[in-house]
Amino acid sequence: MGVFTMSDSVKYLLPEDRIPRAWYNIAADLPEPPPAVLHPGTGQPIGPADLSAIFPMPLILQEVAQDREIEIPDPVRDVYKLWRPSPLYRALRLERALDTPARIFYKYEGVSPAGSHKPNTAVAQAYFNRESGFTKLSTETGAGQWGSSLAFAGSVFGLEVKVYMVKVSFQQKPYRRALMETYGATCIPSPSEETDCGRAILAATPDSPGSLGIAISEAVEVAAKNPDTNYSLGSVLNHVLLHQTVIGLEAIEQMEMAGYWPDVVIGCAGGGSNFAGLAFPFIGRKLREGTDMRIIAVEPSACPTLTRGTYAYDFGDTAHLTPLVKMYTLGSQFVPPGFHAGGLRYHGMAPMVSHVKELGLIEARAVHQTPCFEAGVVFARAEGIVPAPETTHAIRVAIDEALTCKADGRARTILFNLSGHGHFDMQAYTDYFAGKLEDRDYDEASLRDALAALPQVAA
Amino acid sequence: MGVFTMSDSVKYLLPEDRIPRAWYNIAADLPEPPPAVLHPGTGQPIGPADLSAIFPMPLILQEVAQDREIEIPDPVRDVYKLWRPSPLYRALRLERALDTPARIFYKYEGVSPAGSHKPNTAVAQAYFNRESGFTKLSTETGAGQWGSSLAFAGSVFGLEVKVYMVKVSFQQKPYRRALMETYGATCIPSPSEETDCGRAILAATPDSPGSLGIAISEAVEVAAKNPDTNYSLGSVLNHVLLHQTVIGLEAIEQMEMAGYWPDVVIGCAGGGSNFAGLAFPFIGRKLREGTDMRIIAVEPSACPTLTRGTYAYDFGDTAHLTPLVKMYTLGSQFVPPGFHAGGLRYHGMAPMVSHVKELGLIEARAVHQTPCFEAGVVFARAEGIVPAPETTHAIRVAIDEALTCKADGRARTILFNLSGHGHFDMQAYTDYFAGKLEDRDYDEASLRDALAALPQVAA
């Protein structure tokens, strides 16, 4: 049994007036700026005007901002109050189950209406779009976390939200669709007859199951063609990561309440937004004050962007509609094998996360899904919360670090981001208990081909 | 638009040390005791020995306790810390959406691991069973809320939990089963081959879809036959209602923080436990201090126990294995028409809730399910939380009361229990949006027959 008294505090709560008043912009503290975003036609750095067809100006300016603090508007903070500040937990029961001297803390973002960190940026994006005069948003969703978060944000600010949902997910996850509709959004299986892009794909392959790349293309097309409609993205971009920093800013204050500073900070990484949301404020402390800690991004072995990808200019989507960004990438044509963490299937990694990796400020680790679900079940039985499949990746590494502490006999402090609950992902647990999960690695030949197809950019 | 500033507080949080140290026992404050529980064979009041085959002595003593305060053991409070004190919310956005001068507050019990108020008693029951030397618990579940709550509680205290789940629910709700298995419980479709009762039913009707009555019989049989196994019930009994009073005790403190005292207190009522959990501490204030307020129990029109039932001695189950209790009942043979709030389908009402109704301390109201889902969707779009179908009944009446305030031009304060979220009930929302919900009332002839079959008890 680990050494602790159960009468210790389990939750560290902050009052509403401690919701951060500004997001933290890591660009202000980095020793060098990230590489420029390039126009795919000219190869030249893009400017705000290039993005104004689909994004409102406040978000475009946040994308390139250099100020350390970006003020959070009061109406956004007022919506955050519905679930923020989110609790920081000390996982005393997990520590006891592992019999480890480690102190394990987790920041729980599953308390949001949609059940993950995604509403932190959805609410901000909906607000800035409405303030800029737009009345409709289009977006894509795969597993449905992002689509339901933007649907919620749209309902709060009175925006019409149209979500293009990958057709196979639309069919397999009817309850995510029901959640979006409950929030008043329209959910359309993609490819659809509503866009040129969708019609072209359906003409060629009438039974297309869809893909995130196709759904992005449909959502972007709708935004580009309709002056009252903008496009909204749930990860990858600088302004999205910026909005997520409320997680780490609150966590720093809560760790100080708890009286411990983390030796290790852990987050799962798909596009990179929940990881950055927790990690960037801690990296800022490291850069400004020299506070030492390890920071680990955890990704699936089946889609190992940071651990097996190349740091290169690439498109953000499969249809090559986006600008070129320099990032760790497996190639935009890369298709990972099937696995259950739908939010960790992206071929690239947020440029800013890639940049801090390149600067040596973070580590990356790849894990297989079966040991992740094992970790998720150990966690659920100890702490009660059933984690999302994506989140189990962070838990796996947090548990591994705690077991290393046990082997070493050292009481390190571990902090991870419990980015979401798994209430809408129980099929994955059903498959796990039925022994149906496969730990397939990516296909080497397929990765080689995808990397060979990277666009040629004169650096 | 309602009159408020959005800078007002939305959540009223209590620190962990404000988790109540004692449950509130309403028996201490009632002007007269409830009628005795009778042995079905002798017609005489039962004693503790009659219940000791399936319940541990601490719970039996709580069932008949007269003390106002029953101490909550520290290990139970330690588990409560995982989610308690639960937040009290001011529904500012709902008030604005309704354009009402009413102040609407809700106590949110969906923050628990299983997503409802049920773990408040599951944890206590698991603890007292373990302390009394029992290592296994058996129970039944319909929709799955109770089964998953006891599964969680069993995982925390190291008890084996076996859940007999109504077969048709087992087949239609695989994700509730996955949740129970994630917590380490065994979930068995009922009727099963594991019990005499189950085998007899399967021999007669091999394709029986099961019923809550059959599942109770199986769970009770297993507990009665195995010395290491006890039975656990999720509602109706006095000790279950007692454990739920943490809801109301916290809510009183939080309403005082908010600076308002409720004019109306509302809860949905199936077996009666979430309603009693919120209402009983307020009724205690009313009885001891004369504080005036209205208290409303809301039930479905399809199963209108309090509004159309008879106050009489009846069995708690369909198979007539239980003692006779005096309660509002539709008759143990009553079968309601199909509707989505699986937790509100019980033929009776907790004897203690029935008694306070008989004493004139509470009102009852019956509502149809379609207006309940309408209310649930209005609520979700304003407040973000998607409520369980059962909970929408409380929301419907809270909204109706708020609209009455608007019509009257009076700013009353309304408090309701948001007993659970609807994450595992999204099929109900899908059916609602598809226009597939039916508002069928109960069958009058069937009710007449069920009431005619009530047992004859010499009062």
ipTM of model: 0.95
Q: Give residue-wise pLDDT tens across range B83-124.
A: 999 999 999 999 999 999 999 999 999 999 999 999 999 999
Provide the token pair at B145. Answer: 């809320």
Nearest to B422 by CA among B381, B373, B389: B389
Q: Does B82 touch chain A (CB under 8 A)?
A: yes
SS3 B22: strand
Residue A355 to residues A31, A243, A327, B423: CA-CA distances in angstroms?
Answer: 11, 18, 7, 37
pLDDT exceeds 80 at position B458: no
Quote the CA–CA distance of A39 and A315 in Å, as a whole number. 10
Q: Does B316 touch chain A (CB under 8 A)?
A: no
Q: Does A152 touch chain B (CB under 8 A)?
A: yes
Q: Does A11 touch chain B (CB under 8 A)?
A: yes
Residues of A in contact with B6 (CB under 8 A): 74-75, 78
Give the orientation angle of helix B174-182 with respect to helix A369-383, to 10 degrees. 80
Q: Does B94 touch chain A (CB under 8 A)?
A: no
Chain B CA closest to residue A182: B377
Provide the token pair at A439. Answer: 């730990």
Q: What is the pLDDT of residue A3?
A: 37
Q: Give residue-wise pLDDT tens across range B254-306.
A: 999 999 999 999 999 999 999 999 999 999 999 999 988 999 999 999 999 99
Residue A46 to residues A37, A38, A58, A442: CA-CA distances in angstroms?
Answer: 6, 5, 16, 33
Q: What is the pLDDT of residue A5?
A: 47
**Does A386 contact B182 at a Cβ distance shorter than 8 Å?**
yes
Q: Which residue has the higher pLDDT, A312 or B335?
A: A312
Global pTM reads 0.96
* Torsion angle in degrees (nearest 10) through CA of B89, B92, B93, B99: 140
Average pLDDT of span B434-439: 92
Q: What is the pLDDT of residue A6?
A: 52
Measured at the CA of B196, the angle between CA B191 and CA B202, to 5 degrees, comes to: 40
Q: Where are the domains of chain B?
A: 2-21+73-115+239-452
Taken as a whole, chain B contains a residue count of 459
The yes/no answer on whether domain A2-21+73-115+239-452 falls in CATH 3.40.50.1100 is yes
CB-neighbour burial class of residue A31 (10 A; exposed 0-12, middle 13-18, buried 19+): exposed
Q: Rounded to the nearest 5°, which phi and psi values hold at B5?
A: -105, 140
Across the interface, of B16, B113, B181, the residue whose CB is closest to A385 is: B113
Q: What percent of chain A has pLDDT over 70?
A: 98
**Does B380 contact A7 at a Cβ distance shorter than 8 Å?**
no
Q: What is the pLDDT of residue B440?
A: 86
CB-neighbour burial class of residue A456 (10 A; exposed 0-12, middle 13-18, buried 19+): exposed
Element (H, E) at A89: strand A88-90
Q: Is the dihedral of CA B151, B153, B157, B163 positive or negative?
A: negative
Nearest to B64 by CA among B46, B76, B43, B77: B46
Q: Does B157 touch chain A (CB under 8 A)?
A: no
Q: What is the pLDDT of residue A410?
A: 96
Across the interface, of A179, A381, A426, the residue whose CB is closest to B386 is: A179
SS3 B312: strand
Across the interface, of B7, B78, B179, the residue whose CB is closest to A6 is: B78
Written as tens digits, the pLDDT of chain A (459 aa) is 333 445 578 999 999 999 999 999 999 999 999 999 999 889 899 988 989 989 999 999 999 999 999 999 999 999 999 999 999 999 999 999 999 999 999 999 999 999 999 999 999 999 999 999 999 999 999 889 999 999 999 999 999 999 999 998 898 888 999 999 999 999 999 999 999 999 999 999 999 988 888 898 899 999 999 999 999 999 999 999 999 999 999 999 999 999 999 999 999 999 999 999 999 999 999 999 998 899 999 999 999 999 999 999 999 887 787 889 999 999 988 888 888 888 898 899 999 999 999 999 999 999 999 999 999 999 999 999 999 999 999 999 999 999 999 999 999 999 999 999 999 999 999 999 999 998 888 999 999 999 999 998 865
Q: Give residue-wise pLDDT tens across range B30-62.
A: 999 999 999 988 989 998 898 998 999 999 999
Asked whether B247 and B418 are in contact (CB, 8 A), the reply is no
Q: Give residue-wise pLDDT tens across range B127-144.
A: 999 999 999 999 999 889
Q: Does A174 touch chain B (CB under 8 A)?
A: yes
Quote the CA–CA distance of A298 and A289 in Å, as a whole number. 25
Q: Which residue has the tokens 């950055």?
A: A276
Measured at the CA of B289, the angle between CA B287 and CA B295, to 5 degrees, comes to: 50
Residues of B in contact with A93 (CB under 8 A): 82, 156
Nearest to B421 by CA among B398, B377, B381, B391: B391
